[in-house]
Amino acid sequence: MPTQTKPGVSFRETMTGGFALGETDPRTGEKKGDATGTKLSIHCDIDILDVYGFISDPKHYAPIHGQVDFPPFGMNIPAPSGLFNLFCPSDDPKLKHMVYELAFEHAGKPYYLAGKKEVRDDPGFDMWADITTNYTRIHEGTDTSGPVVAAGVIYIGRQQLIELIPTIRATNTSSPAENLKVLADFGRFFFGSVWDTFSKF
């Protein structure tokens, strides 16, 4: 395994929300899941080995892994691989996506969870809602080309977001000063102007 030589960042993020089998539209799946008490949660471990390379790369890509909780399928389902894109450009110049994708198996079949947060750059836009709302679908198969078998909207709530902050750790830094700089630079990039408020908790 290659030795890490550049400063990086790792963190853990959990999101939960109403979810339903047999739905393809996230909002419809959320309403149905909320009505029946069926929730989906994802627990994502994200390890960015080169934080400044990640920030400067327009795709802002990093691999992730984690677990999926979805009662119709099971709890604590391992999701050993996936991808994370932060502020990925879209066809709309005022819209960027935060992408969370996890591959997992249920009953011997592969499934692929694909979610997007929609971050809009407009006057008076609600940064809080944008970075906490994830429109999510589960596909059959190993990528997003498979049919959608479930959908919903998952959220990182205020308490979960506060709990996320301490999990953000600088890696491969050479001094406490560099450690603080890496955390501040990544925090402001990830959360934008709201970082200074969140980092106080």
Question: Per residue in 55-82, pLDDT tens?
Answer: 887 777 788 999 999 999 999 999 999 9
Closest CA to 132 of 94, 102, 158, 166: 158
Q: What is the mean pLDDT of residues 27-34?
A: 97
88-112 pLDDT per residue, tens? 655 655 656 578 899 999 999 999 9
Give the whole-angstrom CA distance, residue 16 versus residue 153: 8
119-170 pLDDT per residue, tens? 656 544 455 566 678 899 999 999 999 999 999 999 887 777 777 777 888 8
Q: Strands 74-79, 169-171: parallel, antiparallel or unpaired by DSSP?
A: unpaired
Question: What's residue 147's pLDDT?
Answer: 97
**Position 196 pLDDT exceeds 60:** no
pTM score, whole prediction: 0.80
**Position 178 pLDDT exceeds 70:** yes
Query: At residue 28, what are phi and psi to the nearest 5 degrees?
Result: -65, -45
Give the whole-angstrom CA distance, residue 150 versus residue 26: 8
Among the listed ranges 16-25, 30-39, 131-140, which one has the minimum average pLDDT value?
A: 131-140
- What residues form DSSP beta bridges with 68? 42, 77
Residues 169-198, buried b or exposed e (16+ Cβ, 10 A)? ebbbbeeeeebeebbebbbebbbeeebeeb
